[in-house]
Chains A and B, each alone.
Chain A
């Protein structure tokens, strides 16, 4: 039986590293659905996957801004038509524009909530309504959702909500035998981190590939032994 993995925010950071790790490994995942905004990084990822495909896997890609919830709703029937079912969902896409409360533009708070919280909800609920039965859903939150820091109001609020939403999904989807896992990476060398901490040397902190390795463990048969809580992944 072949299985499909959908990854949001697939073009960069933890999303890209996760796609590349599962793509390069011999496993039962042979189809990938990649969602990201249009970018040169997304183009390069696709070229790379086509050039290095040792196990004969395939991918479908969709350029989409997850801020646009109606676009997600419109996309889902198309995706289900392409792949039939999605066994693994990695809700990775994240957005932030740090600002202290006095400077937060409400529109930006809304965008943060759309991308980080509502988009994973709309994706998951839409696929459930379409009759999809997930085996594994990984929701990527953040240590920022556990501890607030000055300037991270919108991001921290969205990630705290993601942690709570994911815990509820874990209980509710257990009736289908779906495993819902929450991880909260600490500082990790991604473009988003660069926005949050512009002065940091990315080479000194955790790399996206490290988080992808943890995701591979969580998705494996051994993952069930460590997935009961929001798992903090940090150096």
Chain B
């Protein structure tokens, strides 16, 4: 069985002023509702650990109630960074396996969660090919320092799944080495775990800017249906 650890804690400033990033609404529905609704019907997911930005617990519990999410939810305050938010959720995860997702990816589907669960490996992330070229640079001198082969790079997406003990060990490794990661697949790999990827969808993008919110709303609305 799986616990969904749903990142919902950071105070975002990139999208809209005055609200934590994750309380952004897409087509007027809070972005956090979409992944909750997508995962709720799955029998394999028996617990959701949901973190909340400081001061928002009541509002978030009301949303969970209004949208009648039936999977039991454990509420955990968000940390100072994304890395810490995941770490703080781990002691509350009651299942052997954990799925990590973030509410800033509202276009995730039930089928994507199912396919991740069905994947034969224990530690798996959705990842996308990179359709453009990235270059290693020195930001201070603005000097281009070399070359990266994009065929050997992937855009890391969520959701991801891990054996809980693997994720715990990786976070312990990061603590010992004073490291902070922006996501957990590369953290686990660096800490020595076997981590695999399955190809993701470009629809499941991270809603970060106002343009992203508009695009997500378009794709989720009736206009996004191909004629």
- A, B in one complex: yes
Taking beta carbons and an 8 Å cutoff, which residues of A are in contact with B? 128-133, 170-172, 174-176, 228
Q: Which of B26-34, B78-86, B88-96, B147-155 is found at the contact surface with chain A?
A: B26-34
Q: Out of A129, A170, A175, which one reaches B34, CB within 8 Å?
A: A175
- With an 8 A cutoff between CB atoms, is B70 at the interface? yes
- With an 8 A cutoff between CB atoms, is B222 at the interface? yes
Whole-angstrom CA separation of A131 from B67 in the bound complex: 8
Whole-angstrom CA separation of A132 from B33 in the bound complex: 16
Given A129-B66, A131-B68, is A171 in contact with B37 using a C-beta cutoff of 8 Å?
A: no
Within the complex, the shortest CB–CB distance from B33 to chain A, in Å, comes to 7
Within the complex, the shortest CB–CB distance from A48 to chain B, in Å, comes to 36
Beyond the given A174-B222, A175-B33, please list 7 additional residue pairs across the A-B interface where CB-CB is below 8 A.
A128-B67, A129-B66, A132-B68, A133-B41, A170-B222, A171-B221, A172-B29
A-B pair count, CB < 8 Å, reads 25
Name the 5 nearest CB pairs between A and B, nearest first. A131-B68, A175-B37, A131-B70, A129-B68, A171-B222
Taking beta carbons and an 8 Å cutoff, which residues of B are in contact with A? 27, 29, 33-34, 37, 41, 65-68, 70, 220-222
Q: For residue B37, which residue of chain A has the nearest CB?
A: A175
- B34 near A130 with CB under 8 A, answer no
**Can you sample 17 A-B contacts with CB below 8 Å?**
A128-B67, A128-B68, A129-B65, A129-B68, A131-B68, A131-B70, A133-B41, A171-B27, A171-B221, A174-B220, A174-B222, A175-B29, A175-B33, A175-B34, A175-B37, A176-B37, A228-B222
Given A175-B33, A175-B37, is A130 in contact with B221 using a C-beta cutoff of 8 Å?
A: no
Q: For residue B68, which residue of chain A has the nearest CB?
A: A131
Within the complex, the shortest CB–CB distance from A110 to chain B, in Å, comes to 26
Question: Which of B65, B66, B68, B221 lies at the interface centre, i.e. has the most chain A CB atoms within 10 A of its CB?
Answer: B68
Residues of B within 8 A of A175 (CB): 29, 33-34, 37, 220
Within the complex, the shortest CB–CB distance from B106 to chain A, in Å, comes to 9
Whole-angstrom CA separation of A113 from B213 in the bound complex: 35
Whole-angstrom CA separation of A122 from B199 in the bound complex: 43
Residues of A within 8 A of B68 (CB): 128-132
Question: Which of A129, A131, A132, A175 lies at the interface centre, i.e. has the most chain B CB atoms within 10 A of its CB?
Answer: A175
Residues of A within 8 A of B222 (CB): 170-171, 174, 228
Q: For residue A131, which residue of chain B has the nearest CB?
A: B68
Question: Which of A132, A171, A176, A228 lies at the interface centre, i.e. has the most chain B CB atoms within 10 A of its CB?
Answer: A171
Q: For residue A129, which residue of chain B has the nearest CB?
A: B68
Within the complex, the shortest CB–CB distance from B28 to chain A, in Å, comes to 8
Residues of B within 8 A of A130 (CB): 68
Q: For residue B28, which residue of chain A has the nearest CB?
A: A172
Within the complex, the shortest CB–CB distance from B73 to chain A, in Å, comes to 13
Whole-angstrom CA separation of A131 from B41 in the bound complex: 11
Within the complex, the shortest CB–CB distance from B70 to chain A, in Å, comes to 5
